[in-house]
Chains A and B, each alone.
Chain A
Amino acid sequence: NAGVTQTPKFRILKIGQSMTLQCTQDMNHNYMYWYRQDPGMGLKLIYYSVGAGITDKGEVPNGYNVSRSTTEDFPLRLELAAPSQTSVYFCASSRNAPTGFPQETQYFGPGTRLLVL
């Protein structure tokens, strides 16, 4: 299993441009998540999905959109990029919710480093 894969690894965007960060998992997990990690800070949840066709906002959803048409893929769309979106973005997946039973861990991708200038 490749686990959770993300593309691209690094991208530079100009202010106002748009892009899609790709995320794929091959573990048949129902739950998928997008986080951002700013330097020296904890991960913040942007959006999550509990299954194909179902998505919901996390802590910091403004400026982002997601879709979940298949179990495997969970792309994150940035519209009108702003310097405040400069960050490292992590996609993760899990079989159950982190608060579910039995307790399940999350598996993270390698991250996408985004720089908005």
Chain B
Amino acid sequence: KNQVEQSPQSLIILEGKNCTLQCNYTVSPFSNLRWYKQDTGRGPVSLTIMTFSENTKSNGRYTATLDADTKQSSLHITASQLSDSASYICVVSDEPYNTNAGKSTFGDGTTLTVKP
């Protein structure tokens, strides 16, 4: 069964500090890995998408890495801001080029709280 495990479940950091969120997956065959940010009471918003051939991708202060060999990804947030307080969701899709849309596995998310 495809699984996506995220750690830690929750994290509290001070404003201005860096942090790293982890995502381990057992999805196979691998198509892509996406990171989303979900503010409280809102829908998820895409941060990055990576295929198997990409091992790093940045979006402003967010940098995602991917190790397809160990099936691990991380999301690094630099110089955190209060607005970074949210849930961060890792999503892994399988079967490259398969048009069946029902092949994405969502992690449970990491809740990040940034305090002043």
Report which A residues bind B (CB closer than 8 A): 4, 31, 33, 40-45, 48, 50, 56-59, 90, 92, 97-101, 103-111
15 A–B contacts from the bound complex (CB under 8 Å): A42-B109, A43-B44, A44-B106, A45-B102, A48-B101, A97-B99, A97-B101, A99-B31, A99-B98, A100-B99, A103-B49, A105-B34, A109-B43, A110-B43, A111-B42
Pairwise interchain contact A40-B32, C-beta atoms closer than 8 A: no
B: residues with CB less than 8 A from A are 4, 31-32, 34, 41-46, 49, 51, 89, 91, 93-109
Partner of A42 from the list B4, B32, B49, B93 (CB cut-off 8 Å) is B4
Q: In the complex, what residue of chain B is closest to A56 when comparing beta carbons?
A: B102
Write out the residue numbers on chain B whose beta carbons fall within 8 Å of the beta carbon of A41. 108
**Secondary structure of the A side of the interface?**
loop
Cβ contacts under 8 Å, A44 to chain B: 106
Expressed in whole angstroms, the minimum distance between the Cβ of B50 and any Cβ of chain A is 8
Q: Contacting B100 at CB < 8 Å: which of A4, A97, A105?
A: A97
Other A-B pairs, 7, CB within 8 Å; known A56-B101, A99-B104, A101-B97:
A48-B102, A98-B32, A99-B99, A99-B101, A103-B49, A105-B46, A106-B44
